[in-house]
Amino acid sequence: MAQAESTTTGITLWKTAKDFAAKKAVLLVLALLVIVTGIAQPNFLSYDNLINILMITSVYVIIALGEGAILITKGTDLSAGRVVGLTACVAASMLQRSDYVIIALGEGAILITKGTDLSAGRVVGLTACVAASMLQRSDYASRIFPDFPAMPLIAPIVIAIVVGLIVGLINGGIVAWLKVPPFIATLGTMTIAYGAVSLYVDRPPHGASPIGGLRDDFTNVANGAIPIAGNVRLPYIIIIATVVLLLMWVILNRTRLGKNIYAIGANPDAAEVSGVNVNKTLIVVYIIAGALYGLAGSLQAARQGSATNNLGYGWELDAISACVIGGVSTTGGIGTVGGMLTGVLMLTFMNNALVFLNVSPYWQNVVKGIIIVSAVAVDIRKYLKKR
């Protein structure tokens, strides 16, 4: 009797493990990466390395833990040390690309409505150049607008957001009113945005050269931090990303707009019958996304201290990848802010680990591609069974 019971328990455990492996294949791949990285490069897990990152980005560790908890707590295979390693890397990568979280959020909202936005990357580039062009130091030799008066810091950032917002409005209009599939509509505006930014930066006598020499108060927005104690400090860019995350969470979970966004993604016809203004909702979603790209563009320009017409190239695909890995369904109606954040963390963490392992960037792309496809292939199983 007792033996029979233990056999049953064994089977149950095995089943649970198999279930887990099927559901969280992406996580297992990442765990493997952490272990391999840790063994191959002990420095990766060294106290100095970890504590340094943790001190710089303590707040983000908390966020990463909060978001990652759902995924990581199921991972009984992961030892505590490895978890610290994972979250430390995650935090480090977040610091680098918190603007990227913002892009992913915009893209995610659109994906929920069964749409897609290929113009994201180019809009980021466009708005980065717009913001940068107005914030060059007055003593910088090759200013794009030599006679541009000094303006308050906020103005160019707002203008960049408005530019993104307008592109979003155009995207939404094409999708909602002209009924052009989002893939095609944003493929078009992506191309247009690139053309527009190239025209914008191509000014005699300098030609299409990078916009550099940005004002210190501007670059400080992305690179500065509030000192807390000793080495502990809180970077502004992380505060901004957190505010945006919270705002998006509120929109998707606590507003009528958010509920309508999910309804349209789940069944547009039923949404219409239920009195949802489908066109208006779609346009608003694209506008929000566009504004977020504008904010991200400004932050990116500030972070790297310059902007070129090629900035943001391919970022839309990274953002889509992150969302999809985070469980946002490309068939619409499914996806959470937490999932989007997780997807971003997954991708950036993976890149960092691969760098630590001295893997060539070419191989990094191969691995990234495999992870994206595997994540969706596993995720889609949940829905295939029901037919």
Partner 1 sequence: MAASDYILEMNNISKSFPGVKALDGVSLKVKPGTVHALMGENGAGKSTLMKCLFGIYGIDEGEVILNGAPVKFEDAKDALKAGISMIHQELLPIPYRSVMENVWLGRYPVTGFGPFKFVNNKKMLQDTKAIFEELQMEIDPTTWVVNLSVSKIQSMEIAKAVSFKSKIIIMDEPTSSLTENEVGHLFRIIKKLRAEGVAIIYISHRMEEILKIADEVSIMRDGKSVGTYPAAELTTDIIINKMVGRDMSNRFPPRGNVPSDEVVLKVEDFTSPDPKSFKNVSFDLRKGEILGVSGLVGAQRTELMETIFGLRPLAGGKLWVNGKEETIASPTQAIRRKMALLTEERRATGIFGILTVSDNVLAANWKSYVSRIRLLDLKRCDKDVRKSIDMLRVKTPSGKAFMQNLSGGNQQKVIFSRWLLTEPEILILDEPTRGIDVGAKYEIYTIIADLAKRGKSIIMISSELPEILGMSDRIMVMCEGRMTGILEGASASQEEIMRLSTQFM
Tell me which residues touch partner 1 (CB under 8 A). 250, 254-256, 259-260, 262-263, 266-267, 269-277, 329, 333-334, 386
User: Smallest distance, Å, CB 331 to partner 1?
Assistant: 9
Within 13 Å of residue 242, how many CA atoms lie on the same side as its CB? 16
**Measured from the CB atom, is 226 or 270 closer to partner 1?**
270
Q: Which is nearer to partner 1, 221 or 271 (CB)?
A: 271
- Closer residue to partner 1 in complex, CB, 200/262: 262
Q: Which is nearer to partner 1, 179 or 386 (CB)?
A: 386
Q: Which residues of 188-205 are buried (b: 16+ CB within 10 A; e: fewer)?
A: bbbeebbebbbebbebee
Q: Which of 360, 372, 374, 320 is nearest to 107 (CA)?
A: 320
Name the minimum Å distance from CB 338 to partner 1. Answer: 17
Report the nearest approach of partner 1 to the CB of residue 332 (Å). Answer: 8
| Residue number with CB closer to partner 1 (48 or 269) | 269
- Cα distance between residue 52 and residue 142, in whole Å: 38
Cα(100)–Cα(148) distance, integer angstroms:
30
Tell me the backbone φ, ψ of residue 4, rounded to 5 degrees.
-60, -40
Nearest distance from C-beta of residue 32 to partner 1, angstroms: 31
Q: Identify the three-state secondary structure at position 311.
A: coil
Beta strands (DSSP E) in the chain are: 225-229, 232-235
What does R_g of the chain's alpha carbons equal in angstroms? 22
Question: Shortest Cβ distance from residue 376 to partner 1 (Å)?
Answer: 16
Q: In whole angstroms, how close is the CB of 325 to partner 1 at the nearest point?
A: 19
Q: Which two tokens stand for residue 268?
A: 């547009």
**Which has the closest alpha carbon to 266: 183, 187, 383?**
383
CB nearer partner 1, residue 61 or residue 276: 276
Cβ proximity to partner 1: between 4 and 385 the closer is: 385
137 burial type by CB count under 10 A (0-12 exposed, 13-18 middle, 19+ buried): middle
- Nearest CA-CA partner of 222 in 97, 121, 89, 343: 97
Q: How many residues does the chain have?
A: 387
Q: What are the φ and ψ backbone dihedral angles of 179, each rounded to 5 degrees?
A: 60, 25
SS3 readout for 57-89 = CHHHHHHHHHHHHHHHCCCCCCCHHHHHHHHHH
> Would you call 352 helix, strand, or coil by DSSP?
helix
CB of 8 to partner 1, least distance (A): 25
The residue (of 142 and 267) whose beta carbon lies closer to partner 1 is 267
Residue type, 325: I
Integer Cα distance of 365 and 382 in angstroms:
27
* Minimum CB distance to partner 1, residue 232 (Å): 34
Nearer to partner 1, 219 or 279 (CB): 279
Q: Please, what is the minimum distance in Å from the beta carbon of residue 270 to partner 1?
A: 5
Q: Which residue has the tokens 């990568």?
A: 93
